[in-house]
Amino acid sequence: MQTKRVTFGGYGVPALLVAPQLAVTLVFFIWPASQALYQSVLQQDPFGLKTEFVGLANFRRVLADPAYLDSFAITAVFSLVVAAIALGVALLLAAMADWVIRGATAYTTLLIWPYAVAPAIAGVLWWFLFHPTIGIFAYVLSRFGIAWNHLLDARQAFLLIVIAAAWKQVSYNFVFFLAGLQSIPRSLIEAAAIDGAGPVRRFRTIILPLIGPTTFFLLVVNIVYAFFDTFGIVHATTGGGPGTATTILVYKVFRDGFEALDLGGSAVQSVVLMAVVVALTLVQFRFIERRVHY
């Protein structure tokens, strides 16, 4: 690093400069997180009049609840499928973009738009497209003899949230993949071509290994996204139904806490989710430290 080091006398200016960031973190992250931790060891009566300390009883109850384990399984499958689709489609698009128009940005800009769409809006959009009576996709599918009704069919409902969630994430992945692909020197690909490797083999033996670190980074980001950022999509499309078929963990936190008013149980679920994200982040950091340099 050749950057010039700027020094401040005392702590006044630095403290002032980090204060806004600290305040935001405190108010929107540390405080709610500590509240969740606090709530998770309490039990409240249905009218909110009496609260008592119950230790780990909430944890025991939630972790033994088949409905919770079921939701965990749904979430795991959901996040893996979303990550796989979002990564696969993004890589395909990025490879094509890299191949056809190195450097042209119009196409790239278009593809980033979905990322700027709020989850709830994305949800409404896809809800609209797939609506059994007014949706254009549902109509087209019915033309092909497929009866689409995600309000009744659990598999279709699951598919709907997967599509909506993956669609929103594709653009983010695309940008990273495209940057990754463009950072591979062209002469490497040319050397491989001269060395007798066809396009598929080049992709598998040269390009994929070289964008491996990017792919791993995106995999973790996508799983975290599917775990935590998809509430709006579920809420706007399926509402967790039919039954609990699309009740992923973040949605269950909301349902149990704000609809069933089981604040203790809901807080426990939040704590578990926090643990998951911390674990994923740690894996990420360890891996990046070890593998990012060639």
Partner 1 sequence: MVEVALRNVTKVYPGGVTAVRDVSFTIPDGQFCVLVGPSGCGKSTLLRMVAGLETITGGEVALGSEVVNAREPADRDIAMVFQNYALYPHMSVYDNMAYGLRNRRVPKGEIDRRVREAAKTLEIAALLDRKPRALSGGQRQRVAMGRAIVRQPKAFLFDEPLSNLDAKLRVSMRVEIRKLQRAFATTSIYVTHDQLEAMTLADLLVVMNAGQVEQIGAPLDVYEKPASTFVAAFIGAPAMNLLAVTAAEAASMAPGRAVPSEGAFIGVRPDDLKLDGSHPGPPAGLALDLAVTAVERVGPESFVYGSPTVGRGEIIVRVPGTSAPALGDRIRALAAPDRLHLFSMAGWRLSA
Q: How far is CA 252 from the centre of its chain?
A: 16
Q: Which stretch binds partner 1 (CB under 8 A): 46-54, 89-97, 128-136, 194-202?
A: 194-202
Residue 256 is given by DSSP the state I
Minimum Å gap between C-beta 206 and partner 1 is 6
The smaller minimum CB distance to partner 1, of residues 24 and 101, is found at 101
The smaller minimum CB distance to partner 1, of residues 132 and 213, is found at 213
The smaller minimum CB distance to partner 1, of residues 190 and 259, is found at 190
What's the rounded Cα separation, in Å, for the pair 240 and 145? 26
For position 288 contacting partner 1 by CB under 8 A, the verdict is no
Minimum Å gap between C-beta 186 and partner 1 is 9
Q: Which stretch binds partner 1 (CB under 8 A): 10-18, 97-105, 141-149, 185-193?
A: 185-193
What's the rounded Cα separation, in Å, for the pair 204 and 227? 29
What's the one-letter identity of residue 242?
P
The smaller minimum CB distance to partner 1, of residues 16 and 208, is found at 208
- Residues 195, 260, 261, 278: which binds partner 1 (CB under 8 A)? 195
3-class state of residue 43 by DSSP = strand
Closest residue by Cα to residue 83 from 225, 246, 245, 293: 225
C-beta atoms surrounding 60 within 10 Å? 12
Q: Which stretch binds partner 1 (CB under 8 A): 13-21, 45-53, 189-197, 270-278?
A: 189-197
Closest residue by Cα to residue 163 from 144, 141, 185: 141
Structure tokens at 38: 């606090």
Minimum Å gap between C-beta 185 and partner 1 is 7
For position 133 contacting partner 1 by CB under 8 A, the verdict is no
Minimum Å gap between C-beta 287 and partner 1 is 16
Applying the rule CB under 8 A, the residues between 254 and 273 that interact with partner 1 are none
The smaller minimum CB distance to partner 1, of residues 208 and 260, is found at 208
What's the rounded Cα separation, in Å, for the pair 85 and 167? 9
C-beta atoms surrounding 287 within 10 Å? 14
Contact in structure between 96 and 205 (CB atoms under 8 Å): no
What's the rounded Cα separation, in Å, for the pair 278 and 51? 29
Question: Whose structure tokens read 């128009």?
Answer: 101
The binding track of 196-225 with respect to partner 1, each residue x by CB under 8 A or -, is xxx--x---xx--xx-x-------------
Question: Whose structure tokens read 């996709």?
Answer: 137
The smaller minimum CB distance to partner 1, of residues 60 and 204, is found at 204
What's the rounded Cα separation, in Å, for the pair 131 and 150? 8
Q: Which stretch binds partner 1 (CB under 8 A): 155-163, 192-200, 216-224, 259-267?
A: 192-200
Contact in structure between 115 and 172 (CB atoms under 8 Å): yes
The smaller minimum CB distance to partner 1, of residues 144 and 294, is found at 294
The residue ranges that bind partner 1 (CB under 8 A) are 185, 187-188, 190-198, 201, 205-206, 209-210, 212, 294
